[in-house]
Amino acid sequence: MSDLFQSAGLESDAPRPLADRLRPQSLEEVVGQDHVLGPDSPLGRMLAQGRLSSIILWGPPGVGKTTIARLLAEASGLEFHPLSAVFSGVADLKKAFEQARGRRAAGKGTLLFVDEIHRFNRAQQDGFLPVVEEGVVTLVGATTENPSFELNAALLSRCQVLVLKRLDEGALGLLLQRAEAAEGHELPLSPEAREALIAMADGDGRYLLNLAEEVLRLEPEAPLSTPELGKFLQRRAPVYDKDREEHYNLISALHKSVRGSDPDAALYWLARMLGAGEDPLFLARRIVRMANEDIGLADPTAIHAALAAKETYDFLGSPEGELALAQAVVHLACAPKSNAVYMAWKAAQRLAGETGSLMPPAHILNAPTRLMKDQGYGKGYEYDHDAPGGVSGQDYFPGAMKDRPRLYEPKDSGREAAIAERLARWRAMREKRRG
């Protein structure tokens, strides 16, 4: 494809950002993605065999999705046809398919690159199926969202999903070296500031090169220190969308850190979510759930701490109220753990669904009328407070139920250890009484 500048031969003279000038010219120059581009990787094997299947490139911004697609087209001898799902509609897709059929008739294949493919709706995604199935195009879709949630199952079955990683420090450092070589001089940064610059990019190579370009324009008299660098540049905002996958990934990390009794990791994930703009009341609700699901009666104060944190946040707001959430998270992470009540409740729900409308045993039914007394309601009931030890040992399950299930099995953790001892005595009394 060409544009006005290319046609006029002026493209090489037009100003271009450093990130664009440093785009890799071969797949070997792509950094940080050897797991999908190396000789033994999926793409490496495809190219070695002279074939290229339709693929979905899934990864965060600035890791090379567009560049890889362009270079795959060159390596495969395919015409590179880019589209953006943000700016394209059904008419654009139909035109692209028609052009691809025309190339195919002339013996030329097409690599159709669709950026942000998850933004196409389900019906639009279905439009790719016949042209991919027939081989009219080799589809390379790029997405920052989890394809399992955002793409049709039918489309996914025709494409291989390749996960691209955020760039690590080594890959980002190599990009800085290339930038310095292209500009002919080193970045005016102290070693510590250079590390801070890499951290500011948060794994985004394009953003790092944009930062480097700003630094190269500064021309300070002496290398900048980390605080001086911070005056000129801003850290990249964390990748986070409160209704997308990263939201669920981070809340899962927080919940499992609490469950795993690691207060340090739990505080880290809490800070990550609050720093990214998560709704504190969403976090408060999840903290309450953690107290019920993972701690339960091993520490009955946990639920009170969780609810108190929510009330404190309502009273103080942000940022003061966030400390209450942090305190609750640490309390829960350090508390003894038990999911016994959680598991018992799920078992009780299953049992209730399986047994239908069985009546309670007659002896525990109230009998406010003569008819009910004549039917045996309340007959033989023993008032537990009058029994030795406060427990009569009567049977409270429906008489028609053959087995007496044990739904709640307390753990040997925290206060549940004492509960387990009491229940063992009481269950033994009931079993003895039933004979």
Tokens of 386: 């009058």
Q: What radius of gyration, in Å, describes the C-alpha atoms of the chain?
A: 32
Q: Taking phi first (over 0 means left), then psi (-120 to 50 degrees means alpha), and beta for anything else, what does residue 90 get?
A: alpha
Q: Return d(Cα 67, Cα 47) in angstroms, integer.
A: 16
**CB of 84 within 8 A of CB of 116?**
yes
- Residues listed for the chain: 435
Q: Is the pLDDT of residue 5 over 60?
A: no
Tokens of 19: 């990130």
pLDDT band of 260, cuts 50, 70, 90: very high
Task: Please report, to the nearest 10 degrees, the dihedral formed by the alpha carbons of residues 310, 304, 350, 414 taken in order.
Answer: 140
**CB of 349 within 8 A of CB of 405?**
no
Q: Is the pLDDT of residue 130 over 80?
A: yes
pLDDT of residue 388: 87
**CB of 35 within 8 A of CB of 167?**
no
pLDDT of residue 389: 86
SS3 assignment, position 140: strand
pLDDT band of 276, cuts 50, 70, 90: confident
SS3 assignment, position 349: helix
One-letter amino acid identity for 327? Answer: Q
Mean pLDDT along residues 405-425: 91
Q: Return d(Cα 162, Cα 52) in angstroms, integer.
A: 13
pLDDT band of 13, cuts 50, 70, 90: low
pLDDT of residue 9: 46
Q: What is the pTM of this model?
A: 0.67
Q: Return d(Cα 277, Cα 292) in angstroms, integer.
A: 26
The sign of the dihedral angle between the CA atoms of 353, 356, 360, 365 is positive
Q: At what angle do helices 280-290 and 322-334 cross, to 10 degrees?
A: 20
Min mean pLDDT across 312-316, 337-341, 401-405, 413-417 is at 401-405
More confident residue, 34 or 356: 34
**CB of 384 within 8 A of CB of 391?**
yes
Backbone φ and ψ for 325, nearest 5 degrees, come out as -65, -40
Min mean pLDDT across 146-150, 212-216, 233-237, 353-357 is at 233-237
pLDDT of residue 316: 93
Backbone φ and ψ for 24, nearest 5 degrees, come out as -55, 145
Contacts of 395 (CB under 8 A, 6+ apart): 361, 404, 430, 433, 434
Q: Return d(Cα 60, Cα 208) in angstroms, integer.
A: 14
pLDDT band of 242, cuts 50, 70, 90: low
pLDDT of residue 319: 87
Q: Is the pLDDT of residue 10 over 50?
A: no
Backbone φ and ψ for 319, nearest 5 degrees, come out as -95, -10
Q: Return d(Cα 22, Cα 174) in angstroms, integer.
A: 12
Sequential DSSP letters for 47-101: HHTT----EEEE--TTSSHHHHHHHHHHHHT-EEEEEETTT--HHHHHHHHHHHH
**CB of 285 within 8 A of CB of 328?**
no
Tokens of 373: 């007394």
pLDDT of residue 2: 45
pLDDT band of 333, cuts 50, 70, 90: very high
Min mean pLDDT across 36-40, 121-125, 232-236, 344-348 is at 232-236
Mean pLDDT along residues 130-146: 92
Q: Is the pLDDT of residue 397 over 90?
A: no
pLDDT tens figures, 24-65: 999 999 999 999 998 889 899 999 888 899 999 999 889 999
**CB of 135 within 8 A of CB of 129?**
no
Q: Is the pLDDT of residue 253 over 90?
A: yes
pLDDT above 70: percentage of residues in the chain = 94
pLDDT above 90: percentage of residues in the chain = 60
Q: Taking phi first (over 0 means left), then psi (-120 to 50 degrees means alpha), and beta for anything else, what does residue 378 get?
A: left
More confident residue, 2 or 415: 415
Q: Return d(Cα 159, Cα 319) in angstroms, integer.
A: 46
Q: Is the pLDDT of residue 358 over 90?
A: no
Q: Return d(Cα 299, Cα 288) in angstroms, integer.
A: 13
Question: What is the average pLDDT value for the chain, to the nearest integer?
Answer: 89
Contacts of 382 (CB under 8 A, 6+ apart): 392, 394
Sequential DSSP letters for 141-196: EEESS-HHHHS-HHHHTTSEEEEPPPP-HHHHHHHHHHHHHHHTS--SB-HHHHHH
Min mean pLDDT across 6-15, 160-169, 187-196 is at 6-15
One-letter amino acid identity for 326? Answer: A
pLDDT tens figures, 283-326: 999 999 999 999 999 999 999 999 999 999 999 998 899 999 99
